[in-house]
Amino acid sequence: MRRHVLNALSALAAVTALTVSGCSSSASKSASAGAKGAAASTPATPAKPSPSIEAVCLQGVAGVDKTVTHFPGGNGHTVEAYTTGTGPIGVVLAHQVDSTLCQWSDIRNDFPDKDYTVMAITMGGGIDTDVVKAVEKLRAKGLQKIVLVGASMGGTAVLTAAGEITPPVQAVVSLSGPAGYGNADAYGSVEKFQIPVAFFAGEQDLTFATDAQKMYDAATEKDKTIHILKDDPDHGVDLWPQVKDEVFSFITKHTQ
């Protein structure tokens, strides 16, 4: 009797195993079919969004995404630009080395919104090209009068770009801009362009004061001005409090 019971239990176990195996196989096939169906119905990968805002001073600012733009610049660099104001005079602000458009955060507020449309940019490898492209963007907005303002490396950028932009801008302002930076040749540019230009530098900022004087002397444009601030060690944007009235006077003279 015991042998018959064991045989019966063995037979029952075998049937159960076969049943479970069949169910598992069917479930696996069903899951596989479902996965294939899901994959077939998955939409195409959406286009990549535009670059996120990199400028630290703008991150988290409500509505700033409406005034920040990105566009191709020099050497494959993507320029980030922050534009404020709605005035008829366009201004491009170009920063110093190892900085960004944030460098102009306080200075930008000195340009009345009703009079100026100000674009501060973050530059990359081809700094003069970055400025040229910024001018194109402002002109695409319908602005016909453009002024370039640059500090240190940015001064080199705007001086070099001024010789490349057609039609020419109305004026160029350099705050401690060196005669050259990388492939940007400000000295060679001022020797050729016919654009009102203003140079500012601190007397104790020796190399940059020397370069400002050298470029002023080489400039073929007759409507040019230079101010070497006596006994002043300040550099680039640090000169702004002392020279901003002169800068605005110069800009107004050439945009009215």
Span 126-153, pLDDT tens digits: 999 999 999 999 999 999 999 999 999 9
**Number of domains composing the chain:** 2
Q: How far apart, in whole angstroms, are the C-alpha atoms of residue 160 and residue 111?
A: 24
Q: Is the dihedral of CA 123, 82, 161, 211 positive or negative?
A: negative
In the predicted model, what is the mean pLDDT of the chain? 86
Domain range for 18: 1-48
In a domain, 133, yes or no: yes
Average of pLDDT values for 49-60?
86
Q: Is it true that the peptide bond before 43 is cis, omega within 30 degrees of 0?
A: no
Helices (H) and strands (E) in the chain, counts: 6, 10
138: in domain? yes
Min mean pLDDT across 31-40, 161-170, 173-182, 243-252 is at 31-40
The answer to whether 133 and 106 have CB atoms below 8 angstroms apart is: no
Predicted confidence (pLDDT) at residue 6 exceeds the cutoff of 50:
no
Q: What percent of the chain has pLDDT over 70?
A: 80
19 and 108 within one domain = no
Run of H or E residues at 241: helix 240-255
Q: Is residue 32 located within the same domain as residue 99?
A: no
Largest CA distance in the chain: 123
Answer yes or no: is 87 within a domain. Answer: yes
Residue 53 lies in a domain: no
What is residue 50's predicted lDDT score, i.e. its pLDDT? 59
Is residue 13 in a domain? yes
Same domain, 62 and 118: yes
Same domain, 12 and 110: no
Q: What is this structure's pTM?
A: 0.81
Does 81 reside within a domain? yes
